[in-house]
Amino acid sequence: MIIGIIGSGAMGTGIAQVAAQAGHEVFIYDTNDAALTLSQHKLEATFLKLVEKGKFTADLAAEILTRIKFEDNLRAFSNCGLVIEAIVERLDAKRSVFGTLEEIVTSDCILATNTSSLSIAAISAKLKNPERMLGIHFFNPAPLMPLVEIIPSLQTAPEVTLTAEALIKSWNKVTVLAKDTPGFIVNRVARPFYSEAIKLYEEGLADIATIDWAMREIGGFRMGPFELTDLIGHDVNYVVTETVWTQFYYDPRFKPSITQKRLLESGLLGRKTKRGFYDYREGSSKAAPNTDQKLGQEIVDRVLALLINEAIDAVFMQIGTAKDIDLAMTKGVNYPKGLLQWANEIGLETVLNRLTELHSFYGDDRYRPNPLLRRMVAENQSFQLS
């Protein structure tokens, strides 16, 4: 099968690498010639490093690179069996490119979007054949991150979903099936990791370095929330937060932060601009955290309670199965363990009590315990994850 990739940025280039390594001929399309050239150079550099590390022989790396073609005309996609779009997160742009593409590809070509937060139904609504379109959401960097979310819309044909899922699994990826709702699984469930950490900072409970230390050293997360948002970039992270918030009709659970918005407005996007929550400029120093264990545990308990509540809500709203939700969070964002497994270990009643106390104290609906959590505690249940 020939694979088409629309967009030669980091994500499109990464997906192309994955597909080519799996043995496919791949076409990467972009309207920007300079972007295509950069994509080619990045892939060449990547495979050179992989050869140096002994991951591939020089001959195999060269063979894989020959499978990837760089195109500035969508008509090159006429024989593709699957096309994955990975362009800017704008509904109008995605609709436009798929509208053009539909007139070029064959009738059995599967169309997919790598959107992280936009509605699959909305993107496919104006297509003549929306039954062949779905979401195939990779995580950055695509060659390294094992998880891919498969998201059918209301109109996606069941056989298209099954074909796409089987194909992506053949690329040595872990797939989870998600409902077409804002943020799908990972970007929905992960929101409190960032938003509650910022809220803790805004209300003065702890500084940025201390919150990051607590989530790493006590919580077991690979990176603290402020380090991670600086790495992702506030132009990406804040926009996803705002998109999920607006698409959920301004539910307080997803409310964005003014603090992060001001960073975005100031162009302080994180590592890419050398300033964000932290200062990465040469000569700058990083504040030492307050390593008080009691304070650190309070930080972890509060953020974790909201993360677990969001994971439980995803089960309650049938966004995915309990097993897939835990798999998504461990494979998609490297959480130290699945949130529902974590809930079982802590005790659902303990989680409910923490949320109830926060809800009572703040009077903020972001802390309202999920009905499924209340029901499971009342019935003395735990999550079955095997």
pLDDT digits (tens, 9 = 90+) for 303-350: 999 999 999 999 999 999 999 999 999 999 999 999 999 999 999 999
Quick check: 294 pLDDT over 90? yes
Compute the average pLDDT of residues 263-287. 95
- Catalytic, out of 8, 102, 124, 137: 137
Q: What is the pLDDT of residue 40?
A: 97
Compute the average pLDDT of residues 281-298. 95
Please enumerate, as own/partner, the contacts of 377-385 that have beta carbons within 8 Å and a separation of 24 or more: 377/348, 377/349, 377/352, 381/348, 382/343, 382/344, 382/348, 383/315, 383/322, 383/340, 383/341, 383/343, 383/344, 384/322, 385/322, 385/323, 385/326, 385/338, 385/340, 385/341, 385/344
Mean confidence (pLDDT) of the chain? 97
What does pTM read for this prediction? 0.94
Where does 186-379 sit in CATH, by number? 1.10.1040.50
Taking the C-alpha atoms of residue 70 and residue 90, their distance in angstroms, rounded to an integer, is 23
Compute the average pLDDT of residues 282-290. 93
Domain 2-177 and domain 186-379 have a common topology? no
Confirm whether 370 is a catalytic residue: no
Quick check: 286 pLDDT over 90? no
- Domain 2-177: CATH superfamily is NAD(P)-binding Rossmann-like Domain (3.40.50.720)
Q: What is the pLDDT of residue 117?
A: 81
Q: 159-181 pLDDT, tens per residue?
A: 999 999 999 999 999 999 999 99
Q: 76-112 pLDDT, tens per residue?
A: 999 999 999 999 989 999 999 999 999 999 999 999 9
Quick check: 386 pLDDT over 90? no
Quickly count: other Cβ atoms within 10 Å of residue 129's Cβ. Answer: 14
Confidence category of residue 229, pLDDT binned at 50, 70, 90:
very high
- Catalytic, out of 116, 119, 124, 370: 116
| Domain spans, the chain | 2-177, 186-379
- Catalytic, out of 149, 165, 196, 227: 149
Confirm whether 140 is a catalytic residue: no
Confirm whether 119 is a catalytic residue: no
Q: What is the pLDDT of residue 121?
A: 97
- Catalytic, out of 39, 117, 153, 187: 187
Confirm whether 41 is a catalytic residue: no
